[in-house]
Amino acid sequence: MTAAVPEIRSTCPYCGVGCGLRLRREADGGVVVQGDVDHPANAGRTCSKGSALAETLGLEGRLLYPVMDGRRVEWDAALDRVAQVFSDTIARHGPDSVAFYVSGQLLTEDYYVANKLMKGFIGSGNIDTNSRLCMASAVAGHKRAFGSDTVPGVYADLDLADLVVLVGSNLAWCHPVLFQRLMAAKTERPELTIVVIDPRRTMTARNADLHLALRPGSDVALFNGLLAYLHEQGRMDGAFVADHTSGLDAALAVARDLSLPEIAEITGLNQADLKRFYDLFARHERVVTAYSQGVNQSSCGTDKVNAIINCHLLAGRIGRPGMGPFSITGQPNAMGGREVGGLANQLACHMELDNPDHRRVVQDFWAAPRIADKPGLKAVDLFRAVKAGSVKAIWIAGTNPVDSLPDADDVQAALRACPFVVVSDVLQVTDTARHAHVLLPAAAWGEKSGTVTNSERRISRQRGFLPLPGEAKPDWWIFAQVGRRMGWADAFTYETPAEILAEYARLSGAENHGRRDFDISALGGITAEDYDALTPFQWPWPAGQPRNDARRFFADGQFYTPDRKARFIATPWGAAAEQPGDEYPLILNTGRIRDQWHTMTRTGRSPRLMGHIAEPFVEIHPADAVAHGIAPASLVILRNHRGHAILRALVSEEQQRGTVFAPLHWTDQLSAKARVDVLVNPATDPISGQPELKFTPVAVQPYAADWYGFAMLADKPTLLPVGYWTLAPSRDGWRLELADENVPQDWMVFARALFGIGGEDGVELLAYHDAAAGQHRFAAFRDDRLIGALFVARQPVAVSRAWAAEQLGVSFTTATARLRLLAGRTGADQPDRGAIVCACFDVGARQIAAAVAGGCGTVEAVTAATQAGGNCGSCRSEIRRIIDAASIQKAG
């Protein structure tokens, strides 16, 4: 009998909210995931992604041993080869001819070792991270204003604020637990006002008191106008500005360049809405401005950040409860990576590469033979250098740049051309891993141990509770092994993550004396037992001082600039260089959906999460759809001079005219041509180097499909020789959307190939054809089980996907049942649930609509009747939408 495994406390591997989880392994091997009520970040709440974690832990597709040139090898051989090629390349071409590209999903300990190896021992700044695509503008903005990358606020400020302004943040989908916390605060204090600034009417915007659907890219003009308005209205905190800031005059002069009518013109907002927002901001002392990628991912992202911070400085609204600018981080350890120096222009512990004093402190502490003496290449430039051949060996860990960097086909070309590519990942096949000469199997979440820092500077433990599968190893171990083999055995002796954290903590205190914000030296002597027991805490925590959670920075008006004053930054408004025109008339905006995480390597395995949105799409305004000949649910080619993508049209009024939105998630693994980053503009912010991921001119045109198909399959298909396909796992197999410009020669042959059947016994293949109507249907059964069904039509196939996905698990004992399936009809005993709205309890839109029709008039009533919305709550807005739609229908 298996011994009972005690409950483990850990941290969610997804977003920067950093929710605490309790994990338990059942006797049957299953895993139970629950929110940790004792964790201050979530107090027991989770969202759909967190609560579906157990479904993503299977070993299918995992990389379980090292692979070299396509063949399995021993760890020694792989590590020796990596060390050898890196050493040789450095010997022949210098330290800047090699690079690491890492991730905000690595743990702090992993990050620390990789950074130490590159900056202190190889002696190059060439380690950058996907946080360049994510947090770099916030970092640069903080440094310009505060002299350090300090996030002043804490989550409790959202509960205490009277006005919360969300800029370029779809909090409801991207940080659901924080959003629920905000909504709970609003329920308790309805006077709490929420303003959302986003070109799209997102789920977040639907819950706002005021939604400003500004023109993409125009935030600087909006906030410059606010700065001038606050000054004009006498909202300046004169004493704070005089004693604790510098540079107001220049910032104000630039802000005053634009009149209100000009701002209205630039932002596309009407003057009344602008004034309403400005007035709300002016009137409320307790205001939090929380921002995310609509701000950071822009060619003027750093100016957007500073334009926001300027307003808080002018009004003196920073460092006190319930107020302040608040950058919400994306990845679970985006913040930890910034602390540890993962960006190419930083050292470790918030020290700077261009500061000789900091370089000396770090080099001495590491007893390093050298130290990088200049910033390394930032992500976009790094891959350009790979393509140009000046970087000849690259090691990619915990990120999938062939899908997530802009101009992604160019990144792919760079990797194809690179003499030596190492990839550490948990999966065997990703769009990036395909290009690796050496593939190293990393331990995944649940197997590895370490620490992460969330958006409010809270450091929490991730704890392993599953055995390391195959030969997988933690990332820190892999980097340390290579460091040893490159000749620096003494510097990379680590045997446990606890030792690494202790060393890192000591470095944070080295020659600090309160001069640097990041100080966790209290942990400098942490033992393995204390590390195991470490409970979540917020930094700073200097040695010899008590823990001081929920501390706000800058309460004393002291900043980390040389004169300890915060700086106003003049932020002149300017339009993005690449604008839409005749050839590419629409602006492509990109981002996230509720139930998928990035390149879907984990969330794409959960049928429940796939039930929400199962296909890559492009959202387009009805007027633009008509203008470009796009019918709802048809397929669309999105195109510009960099490349193209084929996506399903989602025609929707939520989208601003002149713009389209597509999710970044889909890869070549799950769809034929849905990597949107192929199109995306690689222009970067001149200060932060963060790319313009939300603003790319594109053209749209219909995909000239001759036929559309929908299939469900018991086994994953191997060959898909059609122009368009998208795969999604369903409970007992796979769902497949298909289309092509040409008709197959023989539909029967096509169907057999798709189902993976020949003429074997025991398989019954039913077919229905209406050639005139272009309709073809096939269903194959083995015994009483469905092994494949295909529906083909001239128009997008009108078969309920939610119903169809469930048929693979059904027993088909009668001929009637089989024919009914072929007809694509729901049996009376099998109601069609509609698209999954509540991923936690698997409740579909039709079930919710039925509950509403049956008298449930509130979200709470729907929850009581169907369970929908009763767990994480991130679907509550969608439930409300269904209720609203029903009441409008009734009224009409």
Interface ranges with ligand MGD (CB under 6 A)? 15, 103-105, 130, 133-134, 167-170, 173-174, 197-200, 202, 216-217, 219, 292-294, 297, 330-331, 397-401, 403-404, 424-427, 430, 442, 444, 475, 589-592, 594, 596-599, 601, 664, 676-677, 680, 693-694
Question: Shortest distance, CB of residue 35 to ligand SF4, whole angstroms?
Answer: 7
Task: Examine residue 13 and tell whether it contacts Mo ion (CB under 5 A).
Answer: no
Residue from 78, 139, 177, 269 binding ligand SF4 (CB under 6 A):
177
Helix, strand and coil percent figures for the chain, each rounded to 5: 35, 20, 45
424 binds, among Mo ion, ligand SF4, ligand MGD, none (CB under 5 to 8 A by kind): ligand MGD
**Distance between CA atoms of residues 882 and 877, nearest Å:** 9
Cis peptide before 540 (omega within 30 of 0): yes
Kindly tell me which of 33 and 786 has the beta carbon lying closer to ligand SF4: 33
Question: Shortest distance, CB of residue 134 to ligand MGD, whole angstroms?
Answer: 3
Task: Examine residue 95 and tell whether it contacts Mo ion (CB under 5 A).
Answer: no
**Distance between CA atoms of residues 217 and 694, nearest Å:** 8
Task: Examine residue 49 and tell whether it contacts ligand SF4 (CB under 6 A).
Answer: yes
Residue from 17, 82, 134, 722 binding Mo ion (CB under 5 A):
134
Range list of β-strands (E), 469-543: 537-538
219 binds, among ligand SF4, Mo ion, ligand MGD, none (CB under 5 to 8 A by kind): ligand MGD
Residue-wise burial string across 184-217, b where 16 or more C-beta atoms lie within 10 A, e elsewhere: ebbeeeeebbbbbbbbbbbbbbbbbbbbbbbbbb
Residue from 9, 18, 399, 750 binding ligand SF4 (CB under 6 A):
18
**Distance between CA atoms of residues 179 and 161, nearest Å:** 14
What DSSP designation does 221 have?
H
How far is the CA of 685 from the CAs of 136, 403, 688, 693, 808, in angstroms? Answer: 9, 20, 6, 11, 49
The stretches of 154-218 forming alpha helices (DSSP H) are 156-160, 171-174, 176-188, 203-206
Task: Examine residue 19 and tell whether it contacts ligand SF4 (CB under 6 A).
Answer: yes
Beta 724-730 vs 785-793: how paired, if at all? unpaired
Counting every residue, how long is the chain?
892
Beta 707-713 vs 8-11: how paired, if at all? unpaired
Task: Examine residue 50 and tell whether it contacts ligand SF4 (CB under 6 A).
Answer: yes
730 binds, among ligand MGD, Mo ion, ligand SF4, none (CB under 5 to 8 A by kind): none
Rg (CA), the chain: 27
425 binds, among Mo ion, ligand SF4, ligand MGD, none (CB under 5 to 8 A by kind): ligand MGD
| Site track for ligand SF4 across 23-42, x = CB under 6 A | -------------------x
Question: Shortest distance, CB of residue 861 to ligand MGD, whole angstroms?
Answer: 27
Site for Mo ion, residues 329 to 348, rule: CB under 5 A: 330
**Stretch near Mo ion under the rule CB under 5 A, chosen from 130-138, 208-216, 220-228, 442-450:** 130-138
Task: Examine residue 401 and tell whether it contacts Mo ion (CB under 5 A).
Answer: no
302 binds, among ligand SF4, ligand MGD, Mo ion, none (CB under 5 to 8 A by kind): none
**Stretch near Mo ion under the rule CB under 5 A, chosen from 253-261, 327-335, 538-546, 733-741:** 327-335
**Is the Cα torsion angle 792, 793, 795, 798 positive or negative in sign?**
negative
Kindly tell me which of 445 and 560 has the beta carbon lying closer to ligand SF4: 445
HEC string of 721-759 equals CCCEEEEEEECCEEEEEEEECCCCCCHHHHHHHHHCCCC
Residue from 66, 104, 168, 176 binding ligand SF4 (CB under 6 A):
176
Residue nearest to Mo ion (CB): 330
Kindly tell me which of 317 and 598 has the beta carbon lying closer to ligand SF4: 598
618 binds, among Mo ion, ligand SF4, ligand MGD, none (CB under 5 to 8 A by kind): none
Say if residues 482 and 363 touch (Cβ distance below 8 Å). Answer: no
Please provide the DSSP assignment of 668-717 as one string. TTTBSS--GGGTS---B-TTT--B-TT-EEEEEEE---SEEEEEEESS--
Say if residues 108 and 339 touch (Cβ distance below 8 Å). Answer: yes
Question: Shortest distance, CB of residue 290 to ligand SF4, whole angstroms?
Answer: 14
Task: Examine residue 14 and tell whether it contacts ligand SF4 (CB under 6 A).
Answer: yes
119 binds, among Mo ion, ligand MGD, ligand SF4, none (CB under 5 to 8 A by kind): none
Question: Shortest distance, CB of residue 331 to Mo ion, whole angstroms?
Answer: 5
Count each helix (H run) and each strand (E run) in the chain, helices first: 31, 34
Question: Shortest distance, CB of residue 178 to ligand SF4, whole angstroms?
Answer: 7
**Distance between CA atoms of residues 840 and 630, nearest Å:** 34
How far is the CA of 22 from the CAs of 30, 37, 38, in angstroms? Answer: 14, 9, 10
Order the strands of the 31-35 sheet from edge to edge: 8-11, 20-25, 31-35
143 binds, among Mo ion, ligand MGD, ligand SF4, none (CB under 5 to 8 A by kind): none
**Distance between CA atoms of residues 23 and 791, nearest Å:** 42
Compute φ and ψ for 393, nearest 5 degrees. -145, 130
Question: Shortest distance, CB of residue 591 to Mo ion, whole angstroms?
Answer: 10
Kindly tell me which of 105 and 124 has the beta carbon lying closer to ligand MGD: 105
Task: Examine residue 446 and tell whether it contacts ligand SF4 (CB under 6 A).
Answer: no
592 binds, among ligand SF4, Mo ion, ligand MGD, none (CB under 5 to 8 A by kind): ligand MGD
Compute φ and ψ for 195, nearest 5 degrees. -115, 130
Say if residues 535 and 213 touch (Cβ distance below 8 Å). Answer: no
202 binds, among ligand SF4, Mo ion, ligand MGD, none (CB under 5 to 8 A by kind): ligand MGD
12 binds, among Mo ion, ligand MGD, ligand SF4, none (CB under 5 to 8 A by kind): ligand SF4
**Stretch near ligand SF4 under the rule CB under 6 A, chosen from 7-15, 260-268, 407-415, 623-631:** 7-15
Nearest to 213 by CA among 273, 137, 287, 255: 273
Question: Shortest distance, CB of residue 77 to ligand MGD, whole angstroms?
Answer: 19
How far is the CA of 509 from the CAs of 338, 342, 525, 548, in angstroms? Answer: 17, 18, 12, 16
Question: Shortest distance, CB of residue 330 to Mo ion, whole angstroms?
Answer: 3
**Distance between CA atoms of residues 33 and 779, nearest Å:** 38
**Distance between CA atoms of residues 50 and 703, nearest Å:** 36
**Stretch near ligand SF4 under the rule CB under 6 A, chosen from 17-25, 283-291, 538-546, 764-772:** 17-25
Kindly tell me which of 216 and 524 has the beta carbon lying closer to ligand MGD: 216
- Contacts with ligand SF4 by CB under 6 A lie at 12, 14-15, 17-19, 42, 46-47, 49-50, 175-177
Please report, as ranges, the residues that interact with Mo ion according to CB under 5 A. Answer: 134, 330
